[in-house]
Structures are given as C-alpha cells and as structure tokens.
Amino acid sequence: MLPTELQDSFAAARCLVTGGAGFIGSNLSRTLLEFGADVVVLDDFSTGRRDHLPEHPRLRVVETDLSRCPNLEDFTNRVDYVFHMAAQVGNVKSIEAPVSDAETNVVGTVRLIDACRRAAIKRFVYSSSSAIFGEADRLPIEEDHSVSPLSFYALSKLTAEKYVRLAASLLSIPTVSLRYFNVYGTPMEDNEYTGVISIFLRRLQQRQPLVIYGDGTQVRDFVYVDDIVQANLRAACNGRAGSVYNIGTGRSTCIAELAELLIDLTSTRVPVDHAEFRAGEVRRSTADISRAKSELGFSPVHSLRDGLSRVLLCGNSVSARSGH
C-alpha cells in the first residue's frame, strides 16, 4: 500500500502512459485511475490489449505508433507526468527484427522526448531494462556497473536511456530512468517472447516438461509488477532529474529453483528438461536497489513465492519479462 501523500500527488493529475495497454502499463494506468488521475494511453496494440484496461470516464485510449505518430505534442501538452513504457520487448525478437526494434525503442523515444521539450511536465519516467548490463562482473549489480548489451533489444534500451538522461541537461526535461529486472505478474501478453515464468506456467497447465535453456544455474531477480508500479509512482514524485535507478528485489533466484517452486505451488509433477543456452541472454542478474531505496523510498513488498501465488490465483493471466 502506497503512502497517502504519494496517492494524493496523483489526484487530478494529468498522466500520459505510452504502452499503457500492455502488461506493466495497464497495471500502472489502473492504479493512476484509482488515485484520481486523468490518464491518456498511447499504444500500438502490437502486444497490448484494450481489455487490459477498464472503461473509465477519466481514461482515453489512442491507438498509435510513437515512431510515426504525427501529432505527439497534442498528447504531451498540458500533461503533468509522462510514463514511457512503450517498447518492442525481447532479446530473441530483436535479433530477428532489429529494424523494428530500433524504430520502436529508439526513434519512438526520441520523438516523445522532442514532443516534451515545450511541455511543462513534472516528471518523465522512462522504463529501461537490466538487459543493458549484459554479463555481470559482480552481484548485486549497482547502477554504475559497466554495460555490455548482448542483444539489439538491450542496445536499443541503453541508447534510448542515454537520450532520456541527456534530455534532462540539454532540454531541461525532468527525466528519470528505471532499470527493471525480471518483471512478472498479470495480465498476460500472449506471445512467444514472454518470459520464463509465463512459459513455465503454460507448460505446467498443459502438463508438459519444463525446458531450461542451459544448466539452470543462471540467476535472475524476479520482481512483481505491483512493485514496479510503486517504483514508477515514487520516481515521478521523488526521482532526481537525469538519474537512473535499478528496480528489482535484490534477491537472487536460479532458474532451476524457479522451476521447482512452480512445480511445488501448482502441485503438478512434470519432468524438467534442458536445452542449449540461447544467444543474447545473460547468465547472472540481481539488482542492487540501495539507491532506489534511499532516494525514491522504494521498498519491494512481494516475495517470489507471494507474487507467484497471486499470479496463480488469477488463473491463466500471466506475463513475465526478462529485464523488462
């Protein structure tokens, strides 16, 4: 539960959420509406869905592609907060389609920044990704860790993040970047690039073997979507302009442990098979969230067992993203 003063910050606020019909964006949009904000959602519906969002008098949903939208300034004028979540997500997908990945993640972001240069916004919150780090030299990963993208997706998120951070000094846009680690929760974006949790749950529902790419010792920091929403709201209120924050739990879980936990929670006994490790994916990733704690007041609420239990209570609606 967010503090009352944080909720009050969004009462009657005017918010723009790009990618707001997607997994994380729809969760944020619903929370903003609950707090009394007016919300405009921009989404191209490549993965997002209109039924992820409620029918609401303070919600306007516009279907558009940020990289081609001719009138972006019409949406950024008279807005208090911009939450930029629209992205083409997926390491494998970016290798298959690097042009569309760059158009969406880089060009779309630059065009949105440009549309904000004359808007008196209070904060521009950008959804970046832990994928930018590549293989970690050490754990946990702090914000100043070296970056070495292993996929075009990771490279595009890093490039866009640099534009966003530089916009704070060059254009005086109060930007904040959040580097998400492995986000999971509901609702599901049903495509082949969803993360390991959604894939495992789908296979468990179908009583199929769980397939682990590699030996299963690769480490992830799984963070529940409600905690990502909390981080966005705190960043909008407390984030320092031009700053970047890691958003995860600070706890490590290896993929083999995740498989066993899901088997235990679902009481479904299936074999666990192994396949060749996939190119473009990192082996170790855990967030150092001390900066987000001290500067944003961010504190993750949900353990992995608790978050997965919540997902299972929602039935088949699940999504997970590897580093956003």
Give 18-64 as a 3 state SS string.
Answer: ECCCCHHHHHHHHHHHHCCCEEEEEECCCCCCHHHCCCCCCEEEEEC
Closest CA to 68 of 83, 53, 47, 46: 46
The DSSP element (H or E) to which 319 belongs, if any, is strand 319-321
DSSP, collapsed to helix, strand or coil, labels residue 156 as helix
DSSP H helical ranges for 90-176: 91-96, 98-102, 108-116, 152-170
Note if 153 is an active site residue.
yes
Question: What distance in Å separates the CA atoms of residue 228 and residue 248, rounded to the nearest whole number?
Answer: 8
Among residues 33, 158, 134, the alpha carbon closest in space to that of 83 is found at 33
Q: One of 81, 126, 153, 245 is an active-site residue; which one?
A: 153
Task: Please tell me the total number of residues recorded for the chain in this structure.
Answer: 324
Active-site annotation, residues:
153
